[in-house]
Structure 1
Amino acid sequence: MSQTASVWVVLLLALLAANLPFVNERLFGAVAIGARKKLAVRFGELVVLYFIAGGIGLLFERRAGQIAAQGWEFYAVTGALFIVLAFPGFTWRYLMKHRH
C-alpha cells in the first residue's frame, strides 16, 4: 500500500472509530450491555478507540520506514482532531431529536 493510501486509510478509520461510541448502544460496537450507555462510558470508549486508531497508524508508519519521535504536541493535536471527528456522532446522538 502506498504512503498516501495508508494516510487515507488511517483517517477513514479514525472517522469511523470516533463516531462508533455514539451510533450504537453496544460496548465497542460488539458487546451488548443491558442498559443505555452513559456519556462517561462513551467518552471512555472514545479514548480507547483513539489509542487503537493511533496504534494502527503507528503500524503503517513502521511498515513505511523509520518511526518519527513525537512530543506531547503531536498527541494534543491528534486528540483534538479525534474529538472533532467525533462531532457528527455526538450531534446525532445528543443534539438531534429522535422518535422512540
Structure 2
Amino acid sequence: MSQTVSVWVVVLTAFCAANLPFISHRLMAVVTPRKPKTLAVRLAELVVFYFLVGGLALLLEKRVGQIAPQTWEFYAITATLFVTFAFPGFVYRYLLKHRD
C-alpha cells in the first residue's frame, strides 16, 4: 500500500469512526445498552474511537517507514479534526427532527 493510499484510509476511517457514536444506538457499535445512550457516553466513545484510529495510523505509518516523533500540537490538531469530522453525526442525532 502506498503512502497516499494509507493517508486516505486513515482519513476515511477517521470520518466513519467519528460519526459512528452518533449514528449507532449500540455501545462501541457492538453491545446493545439497557438504557439509551447519553451525550456523555457518545463523547466517551468518540475519545475511544480517536485512539483506535490513531493506532491504525501508527500501524500504517510503521509499515511505510519510520514513525515520526510527534509533540502535543500534533495531537491537539488531530483531536480537533476528529471532532470536526463528528459534526455531521452530531447534527443528525441532536439537531435534526426525527419522526417517531
TM bucket (normalised to shorter chain) is: over 0.9
Which residue of the partner structure matches residue 63 of structure 2? 63
- Identity across aligned pairs (percent)? 61
Equivalent position SS for 1:28: coil
Q: Distance in 1 between matches of 2:43 and 2:8?
A: 24
Q: Distance in 1 between matches of 2:17 and 2:9?
A: 12
What residue identity is the alignment partner of 2:39? L
Cα deviation digits, residues 56-75 of structure 1 (max 9, x gap): 00000000000000000000
Q: CA RMSD in A?
A: 0.4
Q: Cα offset for 1:50?
A: 0.1
Question: For this pair of structures, how many residues does the alignment match?
Answer: 100
Q: How does 1:26-65 map to 2 (within 5 A)?
A: 26-65=26-65
What residue identity is the alignment partner of 2:92? W
Q: Distance in 1 between matches of 2:34 and 2:24?
A: 13
Q: Cα offset for 1:34?
A: 1.2
Q: Distance in 2 between matches of 1:96 and 1:59?
A: 37
Name structure 1 gaps, 5 residues minimum: none
Which residue of the partner structure matches residue 81 of structure 1? 81
What residue identity is the alignment partner of 1:27? L
Q: Distance in 2 between matches of 1:10 and 1:24?
A: 21
Q: Distance in 1 between matches of 2:89 and 2:27?
A: 15
Q: Cα offset for 1:52?
A: 0.1
Q: Distance in 1 between matches of 2:46 and 2:57?
A: 16
